[in-house]
Amino acid sequence: MAKLAIFFALTLSFLPFLSHSFSPDTPTDRRILVLLDDFSLKSSHSIFFTSLKSRGFDLDFKLADDPKLALQRYGQYLYDGLVLFAPSVERFGGALDVAAVLDFVDSGHDLIVAADTTASDLIKSVATECGVDFDEEPSAMVIDHQNYAVSDVDGDHTLIAADELINSDVILGKTKIEAPVLFKGIAHSLNAANTLALKVLSASPSTYSAHPTAKLSSPPSLTGSAISLVSVVQARNNARIMISGSLDLFSNRYMKSSVQKAGSHSKYEKSGNEQFVIELSKWLFHERGHLKAGNLRHVKVGETNEPAMYRIKDDLEFYVDIYEWSGNSWEPYVADDVQVQFYMMSPYVLKTLSTDKKGLYHTSFKVPDVYGVFQFKVEYQKLGYTSLSLSKQIPVRPFRHNEYERFITTAFPYYGASFTTMAGFFIFSVVYLYNK
Amino acid sequence: MASPESTINGPTKADSKSLRNAFGGVIAFIILVLIGVLAFSIRLFSVIKYESVIHEFDPYFNYRVTQFLSKNGIYDFWNWFDDRTWYPLGRVIGGTVYPGLTLTAGTIWKVVNSLNIPLSVETVCVFTAPIFSAFASWAAYLLTKEVKGPGAGLTAAALLAMVPSYISRSVAGSYDNEAVAIFALVFTFYLYIKTLNTGSLFYATLNALAYFYMVCSWGGYTFIINLIPMHVLLCIVTGRYSSRLYIAYAPLVVLGTLLAALVPVVGFNAVLTSEHFASFLVFIIIHVVALAYYIKGILSPKMFKVAVTLVVSVGLAVCCAVIAILIAVVASSPTKGWSGRSLTLLDPTYASKYIPIIASVSEHQPPTWPSYFMDINVLAFLVPAGIIACFMPLSDSSSFVILYIVTSVYFSGVMVRLMLVLAPAACILSGIALSEAFNVLTRSIKFQLPGIAGNSTVASEESGSSSVVAPSDVSKTEKTEEVAKEKPVKKNRKKEKENVEKKPTPSKTERRLLVLPLEASVIAVLLLVLLGAFYVVHCVWAAAEAYSAPSIVLTSQSNDGGLHVFDDFREAYSWLSHNTDVDDKVASWWDYGYQTTAMANRTVLVDNNTWNNTHIATVGTAMSSPEKQAWEIFHSLDVKYVLVVFGGLVGYPSDDINKFLWMVRIGGGEFPHIKEPDYLRDGQYRIDAQATPTMLNCLMYKLSYFRFVETDGKGFDRVRRTEIGKKHFKLTHFEEVFTTHHWMVRIYKLKPPRNRIRGKTKKSKSSRSVSSKRDVKGKRNPWH
């Protein structure tokens, strides 16, 4: 009942916003289910959770093996996002299983998966389904003898001070993360052919993945830059997934601790974890980097109505609106690299669109001298942004029978020839018939 | 035939003759009307047995075009760019279609509607073919009458009205170009012969117009524009040049070519392609000959000789130069300026060697012997007799008919569909043969029957002498069977022909020699009537049973005698039109393209207008590729649904699996990674456990046999009469969305690309798949 009230309150508080924005479509998630191994995580990771709550998210904490667990009821999803902070859970409770989690993602919802050395097969298989392969070795950890964080216990090189972050303002925010990010957990790798997954926090070349105490008998399977520490996946339906090899990354302890990277003299009072995690979660829950395009339209130059068909060599103008979600409203998206294709099996025209900085993109071009069924295509895939893929079919016809030139100057000799022949024949006939 | 002699008693000779002519005219008219009714009504079996529906494939396209025409008018039709076929290329319908049929039906519809008779376009389309077959019969009457008189004409018209070959293309609902083209063909020939006989410029002009209508209607017009020059050449070579010949030919070439160039689909082809070359060559020759005759007329014989040597020496040099240039021009084009279909006619092996897409069409195959008997029946035996009759005497017009039958027999031997061109020729010649035979036999009877002979003055004169000749003829008739009987009859007829035409007096004495013994004549007449009766029985059977099936609705007799109807095609098409988006693209083999656009109103990639070989090859390649590659090809063409026709459950033999090798061949012609031997096991096409892995993994196999094993537990294919090779499999990139009641049409939807890309397959999994592969397949699958 309380939840319902909150939901109502939320909806009510949104009403004015809804009526003001030009579209009721709000991509930001609002209801998030957090699955935990035990409730102590609630306090040990409270900074992260508080940050989410303060940004308006409605968190619902549950134990991962809660028998009443359900993501949807009556075919409607109860949550917009799922946070799996339960690395060791072997089986979810209730109606939840791997397939349900993946269906959740495939219907456009977001997911955070955090693992650590105790990661169960369940968590690993969720990650694999999303294109992230955790190290197969059961107790292997990420070890780096050069880029470890200096700590009291000497010789423990499993606490990594990672600073190889992805270079993207969209994903990690405009403010640069100065301090290294503390990481302690397991390694994973991405399939190079996977175009959907990105390494957000990658390991240094001296990293490897192995059991920290056992002696290495064979070369570790995952080494160097192949290792990713934190990755994100943006599915084709723009659902976003974050997979981290370390649950501690999100913990209050790491966020607050000071960090000094081995071999470096600069010591930071505070690690980069808090900024990293919070900025990444903003991206993840669609507070940033969510584009929407629409209102694809085209007119023949000098006309106002959209035609059903063009003729070859017509001049046309093309418009499309692109907006970006800023977290609470749609703002014009400004970029100079949006292109439109005039496409029939291959692009016949490829034009960069110019924008008026109010969200309207525009260009004009001449229809090629080829008839067929064309498409206006806007395919926009930029790092960190949701991908835009719009198309609109438009046939292009050849000239009508009366649209060709009626008289051709170069053909005047032929016209002359035919008329003189006709006249000559007429005269000949008259002379032949009546001149006897 | 239509001779009403027996009714005449009494009045003076002149009176009786004119009365007889008038009476004959009336009877001939009534008979013609009856023939028209017969031609129309014998084609209605399809409507009575099934329903008033458009048949087959091409007629659906014509129907769709007619609908467009009736809705949008002729100018929009002319400029119609159709964006719903050949996606994404589109097709300029107005410029690539022979508009004759459509315009004809559209005009009929318009006229009928302006008379406040509210017929639907479909009704008009369904009944266009029967109406025009009545016209064709009348045209055959006119043509044969010009050649051999009204009796032969009526016989020919009656034969044509019900010849099975023509019925097969013109039953109600068979709304195809040939329906009107055969009428146009025969009518053009009639006007040519008429001009040749009369030398009238009026008919020559009409002839050009009829030729224009033929050009509008059917690509077969090239037959006319090659046959007539051949005949003109024949006349010139045999020394039959006359001004009538010139008038019949020259205006036709000039006006006809000008008019033909007006038809968008022909355009400049009328002067550029080799199909039309013969007409221009003969046009030049006839002028040279005309000039020679003219000069011969004004010069003295001596001077003429000098002139001839002069002209021949100079002309020969010029001709050599011109011909050399022409050959060079023609040889520079790869197909020597001929279209693929024409080349197939000249060299029957051409298509199977170079153009699989032409060879793949069943109606472009050479016919089998039984099909001659099926399609023209007894006419095949009467035609030789008719040819002999035409030689007695050989006139300009009868030589044309002979040329017509000879060429059309050749063409029909190359392509089954050209049987249609043979049919009118066979009817005309058989009509001549029958009529001549009856003429001789009935006269023999008449002269020998005492009662009638006494009344007739002509007969009494001749009756005495008839016995002189009779014995020799009797021996012949008795020896030979009914077919051979025509031959002696024919010999006699030579003289007889002459008196029908112009000069009755000198032949009177010869005519006495023509009389056969009474008994032989009576028996021969009876046998001929019996022959005709067999023909009628056969034609009615063919019309009712063989050629009336609309092919979109199939029927079969169940064991208890009941009728089982398979209406799967329309079920599938209406499913498409109700359950898919208007702009969705449907991929299928090209056979079903016209039907999909017309009945389901969905965009298709390829259709029965096979103008773009590459595009068809793309679809063929997709069908013969494994699922993933096929999905990629279809996805790149924006295809949403794939439609396959599958006959394995009910035993419908012309399904996609049986056509599949053509898809492989056509696809392999453009994309060499598709190789026909990969689909054959030891040169045999099979789909059972012995089939090659490529075959068992290709899309067509999978889409046809997906879940098939669930029907009977074994997966027994009733068309191939074998159990299928791969029974249990899943589709990864396609999902089944609809299968009709008898599984004849199966529709699949392309799955969208995967939302997520999975991680690496686990080691355990890959090792398992490797081992299973090794177990199941002896030979390596080239796709993996």
Report the residue from A105, A132, A372 with minimal CB separation from B759: A132
Identify the closest residue of chain B to A233 by CA–CA distance.
B756
Nearest-CA distance from B242 to chain A in Å? 22
How much is the average pLDDT of A154-164? 80
**What is the rounded distance in angstroms from the CA atom of residue B480 to the CA atom of residue B483?**
8
Closest-CA residue of A relative to B761 is A128
How many angstroms from the chain centroid is the CA of residue B781? 44
Question: Which of A104, A342, A373 should be substituted to probe chain B, the one whose Cβ sees the most B Cβ atoms within 10 Å?
Answer: A373
**Beta carbons of B756 and A372 less than 8 Å apart:** no
Closest chain A residue to B583, measured at CA: A393
Tell me whether residues B753 and A398 touch, CB distance under 8 A: no
pLDDT at B768: 38
Cβ pair A374, B83 in contact under 8 A: no
Indicate whether A241 pLDDT > 90. Answer: yes
* Count of C-beta atoms within a 10 Å radius of residue A324: 20
Interchain contact, A237 vs B755, CB within 8 Å: yes
Q: What is the reported pLDDT for B239?
A: 87
The C-alpha of A217 sits at a distance from chain B's nearest C-alpha, in angstroms, of 20
Q: How confident is the model at residue B343 (pLDDT cuts 50, 70, 90)?
A: confident
Q: What is the pLDDT of residue B56?
A: 83
Interval A79-125: pLDDT, tens = 889 999 988 888 888 888 889 999 999 988 999 999 988 888 888 88
As a whole number, mean pLDDT of residues B345-356 equals 72
Beta carbons within 8 Å of A398's beta carbon, 6+ residues apart? A311, A312, A371, B81, B92
CA A180 to chain centre: 25
Kindly report the nearest CA distance between residue B18 and chain A, in angstroms: 40
**Interface residue A308 vs chain B (CB under 8 A):** no
The partner residue sitting opposite B81, judged by closest CB among A105, A345, A371, is A371
- Give the SS3 label for residue A157: coil
State how far residue A373 is from chain B, nearest Cα, in angstroms: 5
d(CA B186, CA B180): 10
The confidence score (pLDDT) of residue B769 equals 38
Peptide bond into B88 cis (omega under 30): yes
3-state percent breakdown (helix, strand, coil) of chain A, nearest 5:
25, 35, 45
Q: Which of B92, B201, B757 best tests the A interface by mutation, with the highest count of A CBs <10 A?
A: B757
Q: Which residues are A232's β-sheet partners?
A: A198, A242
The predicted-structure confidence for B434-464, as pLDDT tens digits, reads as follows 999 998 888 888 887 765 544 444 433 333 3
Where is average pLDDT lowest: A157-161, A312-316, B387-391, B404-408? Answer: A157-161
Chain A nearest C-alpha distance from B87 (Å): 7
Would you tell me how many other CB atoms lie within 10 Å of the CB of residue A50?
Answer: 12
Neighbours of B55 (CB within 10 A): 26
**Maximum average pLDDT range among A213-217, B335-339, B663-667:** B663-667
Residue from B263, B265, B605, B756 to probe the interface with A (highest A Cβ count within 10 Å): B756
B239 token code pair: 């020394």
Residues of A in contact with B88 (CB under 8 A): 344-345, 372-375
- The one-character DSSP state at B44 is G
Closest among A373, B222, B488 to B496, alpha carbons compared:
B488
Decide if B757 and A193 are in contact by the 8 Å CB cutoff: yes
Give kind and range of the element (H or E) at residue B440.
helix B419-448
CB contacts, 8 Å: A401 with chain B: 75, 78-79, 94, 264
B288 pLDDT band, cuts 50/70/90, is confident
pLDDT at site B480:
37
Check if A166 contacts B (Cβ < 8 Å).
no
If we measure between CA atoms, which residue out of B676, B702, B774, A193 comes closest to residue B784? B774
Token pair of B316 as six digits: 């020969």
Does A210 contact chain B (CB < 8 Å)?
no
Q: pTM of the prediction?
A: 0.82
Structure tokens at A236: 């084709």
A371/B755 Cβ within 8 A: no
Asked whether residue B726 carries a pLDDT value surpassing 60, the answer given is yes
Chain B residues with CB under 8 Å of A129 CB are: 756, 758-759
Which residues in chain B have their CB less than 8 angstroms from residue A133's CB?
759-760
Residue B253's nearest CA partner among B231, B238, B270 is B270
Structure tokens at B451: 């009662």
Residues of B in contact with A233 (CB under 8 A): 756
CA B230 to chain centre: 21
What is the β-pairing status of strands A310-311 and A388-397?
Answer: parallel
Instruction: Enumerate the residues of chain A whose CB falls inside 8 A of the CB of residue B636.
Output: 345
Q: Do A233 and B756 touch (CB under 8 A)?
A: yes
* CA-angle at B188, arms to B182 and B190, nearest 5°: 105
Q: Model ipTM?
A: 0.83
How far apart are the CA of B314 and the nearest CA of chain A, in angstroms? 27
Give the pLDDT confidence of B671-714 residue by residue, as tens digits.
999 888 889 988 888 888 888 989 999 999 999 999 898 888 88
User: Residues of B at the A interface (Cβ-Cβ below 8 Å)?
Assistant: 75, 78-79, 81, 83, 87-90, 92, 94, 264, 583, 636-637, 752-760, 762-763
Q: Which of A154-168, B146-160, B464-478 has the highest mean pLDDT?
A: B146-160
In tens, the pLDDT along A348-387 reads 999 999 998 888 999 999 999 999 999 999 999 998 899 9
* pLDDT per residue as tens digits for the range B91-118: 998 888 999 999 999 999 999 999 999 9
